[in-house]
A and B are shown apart, each in its own frame.
Chain A
Amino acid sequence: MKKLKYALFTGCTAKQSTPEQMMSTLAVARKLNIELIELTEASCCGASHLQDYDDFLSLVLNARNIAYAEKHGLTMVTICNTCQLNTAMTKHRLDKNPELKAKVNEKLAEVGLEYKGTSNVIHFLYAIIDDFGLDKIKEMVVKPLSQFNIAPFYGCHNIRPSELHDESHKQKENPYKPTSLDDLIIACGGKNVDYEEKNKCCGFHVELQAPHTAAVLTGTAIAGATDNNADMMVTPCPLCHLKLDTQTKSASEAIGREVSLPVLHMQQMVGLALGCTPAELGLQHHVTDVNFI
């Protein structure tokens, strides 16, 4: 197989509150011999909030990020569900609307850039599954997670709106019965846990303005996984990870029940199965201890 090569849009949390996500992404890429060219020029995607204030500016900034991936002639890979949504949504809107694309390009021309629409935008989860292949990962597993029940937590912005995500996926993901993360758990030798909250919202985006709502959603998700005998959760989204890993106290208070589960980033789970060390994957950076490894 030809060596896979992508332009990596790290997003902001990978460099700040979830350093373990950056570490594990690079560790897994090394194991799988995937080359990642980091887009160091990229700005924040606006995290679905900047567009509430200034939609056009949000489009211009996201188009600029994609333009840098296009300059490399590479597919852009994201490692955050919300980066994925914002970037793919920008691509969708510009590709469908030549007038808007022209307006955005008029601005980008001021800094010598152009958005062409030539680079696809996919989350690393789907790069691994669609491009690298689950069967190949399965063959490479040296330390299967066979002792664990693992609860997948998909994160809204990778599965909804499904119409948008279907444009970039090779295989459709059913937002009501998603399978990608379950399949990955199984490929890593773990047992996937089915529970109602796996495709639900973690509440991250209203943590400041509606803390009670956010905490109830987080608590309900962890409780759902716990009640279905999960030993841990796994998520492809660093924002979900932040909620599930660092906010268990407020979540427990909100639902009136003590809840806490170790939560792995999708990359950490794959990394463990492929034989990376816990330190390489940054497990020491979790607030809720991953103390069974």
Chain B
Amino acid sequence: MSAEKITTQKVNFKVFRFNADEDYLPYYENYTLDVTSEDVVLDVLNKIKWEHDGSFSYRRSCRHGICGACAIKVNGRSTLACKESMTTMIEYFGNDITLEPLSTKRAVKDMIIDKGDFWEKHAAVTPYLVADIDECPSCENLVSPHDAEELNEADLCIQCGACHYACPVVEINSDFFGPAAFAAAYRFEADVRDNDGDRLINVNEEKQGVWDCVKCFECAEVCPKEINPIEKITKLHQMAFKRGVAKNNVATRHAVGFLHSIKKHGVLDEGGLVLYSEGAHIVKHIPVALQMFRKGKIVMPWNMPKSDNLDEIQKLIKSSSTVKF
């Protein structure tokens, strides 16, 4: 037992309310509640329902951070209500706390959202093992500890949707699979028993795939299971190159272009990178490039700066490269 004394303080809650069957618009209800140092966010949701308004609705089930049902947003931060301590939230945001569903535009009733898009994306990455296994195998399918480690905790995902609805790309591009689906794709691609040939190609497609990730790290920041989805996205990029399924397109050339530039100059040749990535499509950048040129923001090829000791960099590229495209 901890010897620390349980403390209580008053916290002002502004709570998102909406009933798709009755309301035209959502509104916010204010509650001032006593919050103890032991409370998690779910305790607050329960207090509102049990002590103030029985119609207040939210998803909850296991209360142990396993089922992934109770993810909501606290002051804009995706969080798993049963795992997140109120003390931490007060430390983060002070005593004025806003509770909202993961995605207000998908709200059905109060904290409950229609997670249909999340499940669709999840299903689209074939989130299961594809393997031809004998119905009556003579021995087990062995996976070495080293191979199991390659999953990098991706199999801990509880599909709570915290990262999916924290991802800015999901909100803009409805085709984008989203960080949770990518983490699931990685989990099975990294499994030595899996022999699905299409999953990696599918998640590398333009428009919907890993190359549209903006690298904002919102997913890594919110994941309650610390899965670090963006790390899995990076690994899917690397797998595509290593397994030779990376298509020759603007996104892959953009990644490879850095290598060419560093090899030649040590530093990045910005203009050269755009040219290498875009090819003939570079013409669409001309209007902005002209504006930048007039303001002294474009360095001409003959004036490109170079790193000192460039030979070292070139030697290291030769000896340390692990991929070919």
Contact = CB atoms under 8 A, between A and B. Distances in A.
Interface in B154-172: 168-169, 172
Interface stretch (A29-37, A209-217, A261-269): A209-217
Contacts of A51: 234, 238
A12 B35 CA distance: 50
A61 interface: yes
A279 interface: no
Contacts of B315: 110-111
A176 B92 contact: yes
B274 A287 contact: no
Contacts of A210: 169, 173, 211-212, 214
Contacts of A257: none
Contact of A213 (B212, B251, B277, B297): B212
A176 B77 contact: yes
A162 interface: yes
Contacts, number: 199
A54 to B, nearest CB: 5
A152 interface: no
B320 A60 contact: yes
Given A41-B307, A208-B250, A160 B220 contact: yes
A113 to B, nearest CB: 8
B258 A246 contact: no
Top 4 closest pairs, chain A to chain B, by CB: A160-B217, A52-B237, A201-B216, A209-B251
Interface string A237-278: 000000000110110000000000000000000000000000
Nearest to A48: B215
B183 to A, nearest CB: 15
Nearest to A282: B296
B47 interface: no
B270 A17 contact: yes
B307 A61 contact: no
A138 interface: no
A144 interface: no
B148 interface: no
Given A44-B261, A200-B168, A209-B249, 13 more contacts: A15-B305, A43-B307, A49-B254, A54-B259, A64-B316, A111-B312, A160-B218, A208-B250, A208-B274, A208-B277, A210-B169, A213-B169, A246-B288
A58 B215 CA distance: 16
Contacts of B206: 209
